[in-house]
Structure 1
Amino acid sequence: MPSLFSSLVLPSMLFWWQVVAGLSSLSEICNSTFITDALPVDAYTGIEIDKTSLIVNQLDNFTVNSGGAYNICNITFSYTHVGRDDTFQVNYWLPDPAAFRNRFLATGGGALMINGGASGPSDGPVYGAVSGRTDGGFGSFFTEYDTDGVDLLANGTLNYDTLFSFGYLAIHEMSVLGKALTRSAMQMDATAKLYSYYEGCSEGGREGWSQIQKFGGEWDGAAIGAPALRYSFQQVNHLFSGVAMQTLGYTPMPCELDTIVNATIAACDAFDGRIDGVVSRTDLCKLHFDMSSIIGTAFYCEAEPSYAGGPEGSPHGAEPAQNGTVSAEAIAVARTILDGLHDLSGKRVYLSYQPSATFADATPQYNDTIDAWAPPVDGVGGLFVARLLQQLELSALPTIEGVTYDTLRDWMVLGYQMFQDTLQVNWPDLTDFYANGGKIVHYHGESDNSIPPASSVRYWDSVRKIMYPGMSLHQSAEALGEWYRLYLVPGAGHCSSNTLQPDGPYPDAPLAAVIAWVEDGIKPVMLNATATSGAYAGEQPLCAFPLRPLFVDDGETMICEYDPDSLDTWFFDFDSILMPVY
């Protein structure tokens, strides 16, 4: 077996499906009578299932989000908690019994939603799994956590039931009930192994880690992308860009910031040994690119009319044409944002995005009253502060006037204290999951403009240090890589490919890699990924961190190298905060 620290090649992935014999047809099990008898009424103490709420219907040739058409049984029912006046809905998809492969798949949400909000937990049929989702008790599968009456009962009154539900409990309950339903409805023998998997990205990634960290012994594997770890730090960090502009006294035009991003991509493209329009080594970009070289670059963007559906669905006001040259003041703003939040004494509070990520949090707002661009008040960060920290029934933080770097630090720490047991999700001791033989594929776009990839690196490093104390980086990374592997995706944005670097690769099917690892022992030494366009379209497998990609032979061959100098750019000392921040 090759060392993690050697040049690696992608292994072929083979799946050996074991057909489950003796099951009924889908039409025989997909009816209210059969499913009523299969409901997991005794699976979870304190939960009462409402049998009258059961809805069962068969969907034939249903096209799932990830592609392909499948016959499935769509099941929804409600339950309540004894002693509480609440209602939770759960939704499960059962595959055709002939396609069932002894698997249960839990899925998560995104943004402020506890589930994906689409037509259902759609990846289950692809893998022969029963899959499930929950509405978190919020009244609908399309309700966001920040809606009135969900996170607040009134000004100053946090709804702690929904806080715990959103934080981790609803996903856990859905999974326990779902696994019991799977065994019963799919007529599994009591001794048969049921594999339990989780898949999610962004908020769904945070939810996935909440399950692995709190209920590790109940899971066999997880494919987790760009998780919103350290919730209070992540959400408040969205406000940092606006506060940086306010503090530095300069608000760049959006076109000016876009020019900085595009120039950075062009300048840092070749550092990985290949010119392909993709920054595969943002760490080398940090070390070797002088952003001041962009000063004086001309930019121009046409005027934009007002329209209804701006960011987060809000109205978008008219914007004038933008033209000029990139200023030293704009470069100072960009550098400050990428350097990450420091307190007013200069001590580091948190980390930030990699060069080549767009300045999504820094999109200035045009104020036609004063005919000038104004620092933004990020909607997600502002919502977190207004509703969860200040506990006010506001849809946004009205202003950042008077907010300093120290204010942001204090908000991060306050949220750390308030939500450590619910939303934070940064517990690094994964002993139960490891002891259960669990496997994790964790991936993160290197040009993510919403959740910094260094956030994932920090968590990986925290697990490494806690689980393997006293070992060198080489030794502990090798040991950790036997069950938990992190992959940074060159050029990729937040949970997707990137329009500014469209020729970059993106993971093909992370969950498939997890399943092959768990069930067949095929460790994803490199993770399958594909570039869909460009001169190098095709397979472009991903290196497992801490190895970094490097192209040799005039860009034709990729190796995974260990580069200690560039690795130092990924690790940070949060010396402004006395408590450990894993």
Structure 2
Amino acid sequence: MLAMMCSGLLQFSVRTLAVTALAATLASSTLARSDADSNNNDNGRRQVSGVNCNVAAFANLLPIATKVEKVEYVSAGGTFGEPLTDLMYPIPPTNLPELCAVIISVVSSPVSSYRFGIFLPAEWNGRFLTVGNGGFGGGINWLDMGAGVRYGFAVVSTDTGHNSTTGDIYWALNNPEMKEDWGWRSLHGTVLLGKNLVTAYYAKPIGHSYYSGCSTGGRQGLKEVQISPGSFDGVLVGAPAWYTSHLNTWIGKIATYNWPADDPKHIDWETLPPIGAEVVRQCDDIDGVSDGIISLPEQCNVNYDALRCSNGISTAASNFANSDNCLNDAQIDTLKQLYTGFTLDSTGERVMPGLLPGSENQMYTVLNYSDASPYGLGYIRYFLLDNPLWEASQYNDSILQLAELLDPGNATANNYNLTTFRDRGGKMLIYHGASDGLVPTTAGSLYYKRAVDTTSGGDVNAAREFFRRLEIPGMQHCGLTEVDAPWAFGGASQAASLGNDTYSVPGFADSQHDVLLALVDWVENGNPVDQVIATTWNSQKEPSSGVLRQRPICAYPDTAQWDGTGNIDEAASWSCGGDNSSHVANSAGSLAYTNPFSVIVDMLLGD
């Protein structure tokens, strides 16, 4: 078994070095360009810093096994994307600034390749931004690139080595090299090659490098920092699905909690919103404010008696127990398992924390509509076992053990030692919606605690010098809300949820309201991110409908506190104070863990 582990890790290290060598070759070819080539300025506005926006100019910069697929000049107000072929991101961004759009293809192994896109704005702010992906989807994230380039960044995104929608994982079947591309290699290579192309295009070095991604994108950001601490100066990590070996196997196990549909334990997805409303009723005012938002979900102790069917005889504070949505004892046990998290059948040990109260409206993503969730079933079938005939009913603890051993694609981002990233001046913000029903908020808390323990000896104040955590009450997975909670603060993919022609937070594009700009301010000006003000509108996807609520999101362990007199919908009525550390530690940090891979990885990668 140890030989298998070492062999896999050695291959991971060799492949990392190979990608780095490819980028070094690109850098050498860049430096070898002739002055005559760099001064070929016959396309007027279709060039920046002496480099033309055409295929030939970029082809001269690329090493073997890398090619230019497309180069296109985009005028101000224009659009660019792949609406007919990009299954994951078919909607192209519009209202772009003047830029040069480039698509590059890279051979990553004898049987795999990946693509990445670059937006090179005519008015460049000197910064480089990499944006992440979502789920198991493959496709260049043009929408997030479009938002990023409107800040003035040069932006890159990879397709992760395939083309599919978020829950389509069939592409991974018997394709270990494609799994590697999705797991880490395509993003790592995109960063290295993209930086060199940007440097060559503008004929000057990049000032600062940033990352922004959510969900799988959050995992990608953490993974890149772990294998290459020098890739980014600032990293924005949203709702990271970092614990691939545990998260996706747990989602597979959840099917055994909830299916088949004719079992008394089954909770129909249509019942989840009423359950959520009852949980909000119970826990809304824990923070002293009745606003329909559970602001301290870690302190919410659900009263299951109020959910249990009473057959018309109830003394509970609500009428839920007498409603058509009331739960029997078996259904209550199913709900408890979602809150508890991933436990082993053999020992009862909890190996990953569960979803928080308040996430019920989005629990359908793991309970699923008609069968086991593809995020779990598909991962086990096509990533882990390479067996499309495997059924959720066959689940047992050996699935997790195999996932921990093999970690297909080296996708799990569980190196908690961020010392090198910290020591070179890197800054990281990790954020999570407290009502996330897909990737548990507690899983983000768990990574944060383990990184603080490993890197800063458990000293949160010391860790806050480079690594801070934000929890957004009422926000679901990566954005949006079911309880009118302020949710928009410039996180990854949030602008895309407002339309294909937006960026930042409409009407509030500044470092007080936009977490990416706040991160830039921290990295470049030394102003730590103590809070960022989140916004929601009367119609949450329509900024033109007018602001409904704004509220500060406080850096852990602080929480937002109302002043007791002001308008609760205005940010000025709230301040950051208090200490939520004990409750977060109890929900996420109490798990014992071992990481047999970390020492070997550190030896192989020099981290």
| TM bucket normalised to smaller | 0.7 to 0.9
1:284 is matched with which residue? 299
Closer, same or farther: CA 48–176 of 1 in aligned 2, 3 Å: same
Distance 1:84 1:580, change over 3 A: closer
Residue 392 in structure 1 maps to residue 387 in structure 2 = yes
Q: For the residues of structure 2 that align with 1:298 and 1:255, how far apart are their CA atoms?
A: 21
Q: Is the CA contact 1:40–1:181 (under 8 Å) kept in the aligned structure 2?
A: no
In structure 2, the gaps of 5 or more residues are 1-38, 81-91, 313-322, 491-513, 540-545, 599-607
Do the aligned partners of residues 545 and 67 (structure 1) sit closer, same or farther apart at CA in structure 2, a change above 3 Å counting? farther
Deviations 1:260-297 (A, max 9, x none): 221001221111121111111101213xx423223248
Work out which structure has the larger RCO, using CA pairs closer than 8 Å and 6 or more positions apart in sequence. Answer: 1
Say which of 545, 554, 560 aligns to 1:549: 560
| Residues 295-310 of structure 1 mapped to structure 2, 5 A cutoff | 295-296=308-309
Residues 172 and 103 (structure 1), Cα distance of their counterparts in 2 relative to 1, 3 Å cut? same
Retained in 1: the 8 A contact 2:239–2:439?
Answer: yes
Secondary structure at 1:456 match in 2: helix
**Aligned twin of 1:75:** 102
Over the matched positions of the two proteins, sequence identity in percent amounts to 20
C-alpha distance in 2, partners of 1:568/1:77? 44
Whole-angstrom CA distance in 2 between matches of 1:100 and 1:70: 10
Deviation readout 1:283-319 (Å, 9 max, x if unpaired): 1213xx42322324899xxxxxxxxxxxxxxxxxxxx
- Given the superposition, is the C-alpha separation of residues 543 and 328 from structure 1 closer, same or farther in structure 2, using an over 3 Å criterion? same
2:235 to 222, 234, 244: 222
SS at match of 2:476: coil
CA–CA separation in structure 1 for the residues paired with 2:394 and 2:166: 30
Q: Is the 8 A contact 2:138 2:161 kept in 1?
A: no
Paired residue for 2:83?
none
Q: Distance in 2 between matches of 1:267 and 1:25?
A: 65
| One-letter amino acid of the counterpart of residue 560, structure 2 | P
Mean CA deviation greater in 177-186 or 107-116: 107-116
The Cα offsets for residues 403-461 of structure 1, whole Å up to 9 and x where unpaired, read as 3xxx1x43223112111771111111112211221111211000100000111111111
Closer/same/farther in 2, CA of residues 273 and 298 from structure 1, 3 Å limit = farther
SS in 1 for 2:460: helix
Verify: 1:57 aligned to 2:73, yes or no: yes
How much has 1:253 moved relative to structure 2? 3.4
CA–CA distance in structure 2, aligned partners of residues 362 and 112 of structure 1: 15
Q: Does 1:91 align with 2:93?
A: no
Deviation at 1:507, TM superposition (A): 2.1
The Cα shift of 1:180 comes to: 1.0
CA contact (8 A) 2:241 2:247 kept: yes
- After TM superposition, give the deviation of residue 565 of structure 1 in Å: 4.5
For 1:494 and 1:211, how far apart are their aligned partners in 2?
22
Q: What TM-score, normalized by structure 1, do the two folds share?
A: 0.77
Amino acid at match of 1:523: P
Q: CA deviation at 1:497?
A: 1.5
2:462 counterpart of 1:479: yes
Report 1:206-355 matches (<5 A): 206-245=219-258, 250-286=265-301, 289-296=302-309, 323=324, 325-344=326-345, 345-355=347-357
Give the C-alpha shift of residue 212 in structure 1: 0.9
Q: Which residues of 2 match residues 188-199 of structure 1 at below 5 A?
A: 188=204, 192-199=205-212
Residue of structure 2 aligned with 1:103, choices 111, 127, 131: 127
Quote how far apart the aligned CAs of 1:552 are: 4.3
- Inter-partner Cα distance in structure 2 for 1:414 and 1:553: 53
Quick check: which one's helix share is greater? 2
Asked whether the 8 Å contact 2:140–2:159 carries over to 1, the reply is no
Instruction: Give the 3-state SS of the residue equivalent to 1:571 in structure 2.
Output: helix
Q: Distance in 1 between matches of 2:198 and 2:95?
A: 22
1:382 to 373, 377, 385: 377
One-letter amino acid matched to 1:72: L
Q: SS at the partner of 1:537?
A: strand
For residues 221 and 117 of structure 1, what CA distance do their matches in structure 2 show? 20
Total equivalences in the alignment: 497
Alpha-carbon separation, structure 2, partners of 1:293 and 1:552 = 32
1:549, distance to aligned residue in structure 2 (A): 3.1
| Structure 1 equivalent of residue 584 of structure 2 | 567
Q: Structure 1 residues 536-545 or 31-40, which shifts more?
A: 31-40
Q: Is 333-342 or 207-216 further displaced after alignment?
A: 333-342
Contact 2:353–2:588 under 8 Å retained in 1 = no
Could you tell me how far 1:357 is from its partner in structure 2? 0.4
Shift of residue 259, structure 1, vs aligned partner:
2.2
1:94-148, Cα deviation, whole Å (9 max, x unpaired): 111xx2111111111101125554457223322211111223333x5x5669555
**For the structure 1 residues 363 and 36, does the alpha-carbon distance in structure 2 shift closer, same or farther, using more than 3 Å as the test?**
closer
Letter in 2 for 1:195: H
Q: 2:85 — aligned with what?
A: none
